[in-house]
């Protein structure tokens, strides 16, 4: 029981950190900071005689930041996707004419998803064929 509580606390702490980091990294100030770091690095090139170590600094720094950001971004995208799916499921269930079989579709196998995609493509083609053609507006 205590271990389960600790796991929840760790997940919640990571969730908060991931959200804060994603928001902070998407801010204009963070972009300016990144550009500034690159400019400072580039301007110090002549001081360090364009050495391998000078190049390694930017390569290592950007690799580490990229590696860590992948996990944080994936975490926030997964949560956003789950929330979006739940909202869509709620709408499907709330609309009387909607097919409830589409609820939780994201957890269906690929064959089921492909079958529905083909069904919707066919419906779209029929709608396009039945729709009246609008003539482009005459140029004056």
pLDDT single digits (tens) 96-130: 888 888 888 888 899 999 999 999 899 999 888 88
What pTM value is reported for the model?
0.65
Q: How confident is the model at residue 133 (pLDDT cuts 50, 70, 90)?
A: low
Instruction: Give me the chain's average pLDDT, please.
Output: 90
DSSP code per residue over 72-91: HHHHHHHHHHHHHHHHHHHH
99 is written with which tokens?
Answer: 């097919």
Question: What is the phi/psi pair of residue 26, to 5°?
Answer: -85, 0
Q: Which of 22, 5, 132, 2 is nearest to 68 (CA)?
A: 22
Question: What is the phi/psi pair of residue 108, to 5°?
Answer: -80, 165
Residues 6 or more apart in contact with residue 17 via CB below 8 angstroms: 72
**How large is the average pLDDT for residues 80-87?**
92
Q: Are 72 and 22 in contact (CB under 8 A)?
A: yes
Give me the residue label for tokens 């005689």. 49
Angle (CA) 102 91 118, round 5°: 30
């Amino acid at each position: 029981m205590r271990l389960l509580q600790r796991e929840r606390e760790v997940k919640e702490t990571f969730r908060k950190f991931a959200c804060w980091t994603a928001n902070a990294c998407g801010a204009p100030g963070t972009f300016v900071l990144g550009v500034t770091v690159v400019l400072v690095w580039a301007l110090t090139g002549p001081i360090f005689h364009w050495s391998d170590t000078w190049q390694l600094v930017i390569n290592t720094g950007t690799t580490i930041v990229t590696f860590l950001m992948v996990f944080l971004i994936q975490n926030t995208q997964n949560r956003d996707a789950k929330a979006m799916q739940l909202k869509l499921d709620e709408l499907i269930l709330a609309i009387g004419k909607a097919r409830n079989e589409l609820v939780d579709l994201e957890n269906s196998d690929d064959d089921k998803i492909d079958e529905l995609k083909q069904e919707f493509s066919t419906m779209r083609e029929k709608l396009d064929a039945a729709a009246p053609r609008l003539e482009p507006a005459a140029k004056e």
